[in-house]
Amino acid sequence: MTHKPLVLSGMQPTNTLHLGNYLGALKNWVRMQNEMPCLFCVVDMHAITTDAAYGKPEELTRATREVAAAYIAAGVDPARTPVFNQGQVPEHAELSWIFNCVARLGWMDRMTQFKEKSGKHKERSSVGLYTYPVLMAADILVYKATHVPVGEDQKQHLELSRDIAQKFNNDFGVPDFFPQPEPVITGAATRVMSLRDGTKKMSKSEESDLSRINLTDDAEAIANKIRRAKTDPLPLPDSKDGLKDRPEAENLLNIYAALADQDRDQVIAEFAGQQFSGFKQKLADLTVAKIGPVTAEMRRLLADPAEIDRTLKSGAARARAIAVPVMEEVRRRVGFIQ
């Protein structure tokens, strides 16, 4: 049996979103909306595995609205595509429990992101952080989603989702009940790096705010950060070979190409031999032109939190319409009386 194509993805409402999230993820989501039915979730249940959200209800609520606003401001159309927060669809948690019983400790112990996040003190990490990838599998499979746009760092979690789907299908004797969800690796061409260090990913957890362009920055802040972005003393290269060992130059050219929807080679040719100062001015103007409307729309949406909450509620109702029948069948297959 083949499963109907359906896209599901999500972002955690922790801290603020930045240019990397926009170019690496949101822009692709918006495009995918025109190709397949999609669901976009704000994963508030995942967020409480982090210090940024755990025990900080107001901050979590604020960040959840902000992420929802970013999806919509970037071009996700909530009339077509359900935008919702995970916490309003209890089927995620319910399926996640069953998947906790499907997944093996040996599989979980291989998860590299848990090892990174828990650091030296595994015994002090929450159990939630450990089973985070199981909840992610439930997010996807509760809708029988087939395509999952994610960054490179989430590939291993997607593999776990596939293993869980297969073992469930096998152990409960329903071949093809759950699909094997495919990662759609987004942002491979547009890995946006820190403005302070071209070898590190632009990240919401990096200390210096100058390292990233937040989707809440105004035009002046954007221009200032680009002006102050780290560069090297050479002029811009005339070919991509000239980018070798010049991570900052490469990053700024990549950002330009992604924002302008141009080929990187084209951009290199356009600025070949020029000084950074002039290029940075053009990049700042382009960034403001492309990101400015998104940030302005985000601010407009956030000024009316009740409206965002209504959008999330309606998105959750539409998401549940898909998840409820799947869960009914899961309960029946598992043997729960209902």
Pick the stretch among 148-156, 189-197, 254-262, 322-330 that binds ligand TRP (CB under 6 A).
Answer: 148-156
Q: With helix as H, strand as E and coil as C, how does 71-133 read?
A: HHHHCCCCCCCCEEEHHHCCHHHHHHHHHHHHCCHHHHCCCHHHHHHHCCCHHHCCHHHHHHH
330 binds ligand TRP (CB under 6 A): no
Rounded to a whole number of angstroms, the minimum distance from the CB of residue 297 to ligand TRP is 23
Query: Is 53 a binder of ligand TRP (CB under 6 A)?
Result: no
CA dihedral 193, 190, 216, 84 (to 10 degrees): -130
CB 202 within 8 A of CB 195: yes
In the 8-state DSSP scheme, what is residue 183? E
Smallest separation, CB 83 to ligand TRP (Å): 14
CA distance 113 to 119: 10
How many residues in the shown chain lie near ligand TRP by CB under 6 A?
A: 12
Of 111 and 288, which CB lies nearer to ligand TRP in the complex structure?
Answer: 111
Listed in order, strand segments (DSSP E) in 23-63 are 38-42
217 in contact with ligand TRP (CB under 6 A) = no
CB atoms within 10 A of CB 119: 9
Among 154, 211, 214, 251, binds ligand TRP (CB under 6 A): 154
Return d(Cα 50, Cα 56) in angstroms, integer: 10
Active-site positions?
117, 201, 204
Can you tell me which of 89, 150, 284, 301 binds ligand TRP, judged by CB under 6 A?
150
| Structure letter (DSSP) for residue 270 | H
Stretch of residues binding ligand TRP (CB under 6 A), selected from 146-154, 203-211, 238-246, 304-312 = 146-154
* Strand stretches in the chain, DSSP E: 7-11, 38-42, 83-85, 147-150, 182-185
Nearest approach, Cβ of residue 46 and ligand TRP (Å): 5
CA 220 – CA 83 distance, rounded (Å): 30
Per CB under 6 A, the list member of 21, 32, 42, 46 interacting with ligand TRP is 46
Site for ligand TRP, residues 118 to 137, rule: CB under 6 A: 136
The nearest distance, CB 259 to ligand TRP, in angstroms, is 22
Judged by CB under 6 A, the chain residues 261 through 320 that form the site for ligand TRP are none
Nearer to ligand TRP, 62 or 117 (CB): 117
Taking the least distance from each CB to ligand TRP, the nearer of 111 and 301 is: 111
Which residue, 17 or 298, is less far from ligand TRP as judged by CB?
17
For residue 138, give every residue at least 6 positions away whose Cβ sits within 8 Å of its Cβ, in sequence order, or none. Answer: 92, 93, 95, 96, 99
Nearer to ligand TRP, 148 or 223 (CB): 148
Residue showing tokens 């990049």: 283
254 binds ligand TRP (CB under 6 A): no
Q: Could you give the string, one character per residue 6-45, with x where binding to ligand TRP holds by CB under 6 A and - elsewhere?
A: --xxx-x------------------------------x--
Residue 83, interface with ligand TRP (CB under 6 A)?
no
* Residue 175: CB atoms within 10 Å: 9
Please give the Cα distance from 166 to 173 (Å, whole number): 10
Q: Contact positions toward ligand TRP, by CB under 6 A?
A: 8-10, 12, 43, 46, 136, 139-140, 148, 150, 154
